[in-house]
């Protein structure tokens, strides 16, 4: 992790920093990258954290791209969780009509600039950029 590229949270999210990874990987590869670097794919467990992450994305040069998150229902269809963080998934910022599981194969959560960074379910095999979240000390 490069500290210069890690946005530190404020308020309730002050114990995390967020790094935008611009290489395009499948969801499982992105998850392995983040955990291998000592973090995890971003898990927006509160509204404050979600809005902070969206603010980062909107201010980045790549705001129109697609970003993997830790959201997934791989273990059980329609039972969404934050991988490596919290199986108790509570999230109110889905794109209208989502999650749809289009084609029966959309099990991984992404944020898309074209959708105003509301959560969308997508195929885990899609190549996308991703956000790693790292816990930091006070």
Q: Over the stretch 97-131, which tens digit does the pLDDT of each residue have?
A: 999 999 889 999 999 998 899 999 999 999 999 99
**Looking at the predicted structure, is the pLDDT value of residue 9 above 70?**
no
Alpha helices by DSSP H, listed for 61-115, are none
pLDDT for the residue 2: 45
Q: Over the stretch 50-92, which tens digit does the pLDDT of each residue have?
A: 999 999 898 886 666 899 999 999 999 999 999 998 777 888 8
Mean pLDDT of all residues belonging to the chain: 88
Q: Over the stretch 14-53, which tens digit does the pLDDT of each residue have?
A: 688 999 999 999 999 999 999 999 999 999 988 888 999 9
**Looking at the predicted structure, is the pLDDT value of residue 1 above 60?**
no
* Domain boundaries of the chain, sorted by first residue: 8-135
Q: Which two tokens stand for residue 22?
A: 């611009």
pTM equals 0.89
3-state SS, residue 65: coil
pLDDT for the residue 137: 66
If one looks up domain 8-135 in CATH, what number appears?
A: 3.10.100.10
- Report the candidate in 69, 93, 70, 89 with the shortest Cα–Cα distance to residue 81: 89
How many other CB atoms are there within 10 angstroms of residue 103's CB atom?
7
């Amino acid at each position: 992790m490069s500290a210069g590229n890690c946005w530190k949270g404020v308020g309730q999210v002050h114990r995390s920093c967020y790094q935008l990874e611009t290489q395009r990987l499948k969801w499982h590869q992105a998850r392995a990258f983040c955990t291998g670097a000592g973090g995890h794919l971003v898990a927006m467990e509160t509204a404050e954290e979600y809005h902070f992450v969206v603010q980062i994305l909107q201010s980045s040069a790549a705001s129109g791209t697609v970003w993997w998150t830790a959201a997934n229902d791989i273990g059980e269809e329609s039972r969404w969780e934050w991988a490596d963080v919290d199986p108790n998934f509570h999230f109110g910022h889905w794109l209208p009509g989502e999650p749809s599981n289009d084609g029966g194969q959309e099990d991984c959560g992404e944020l898309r600039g074209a959708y105003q960074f509301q959560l969308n379910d997508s195929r885990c095999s899609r190549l996308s950029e991703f956000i790693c979240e790292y816990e930091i000390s006070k």
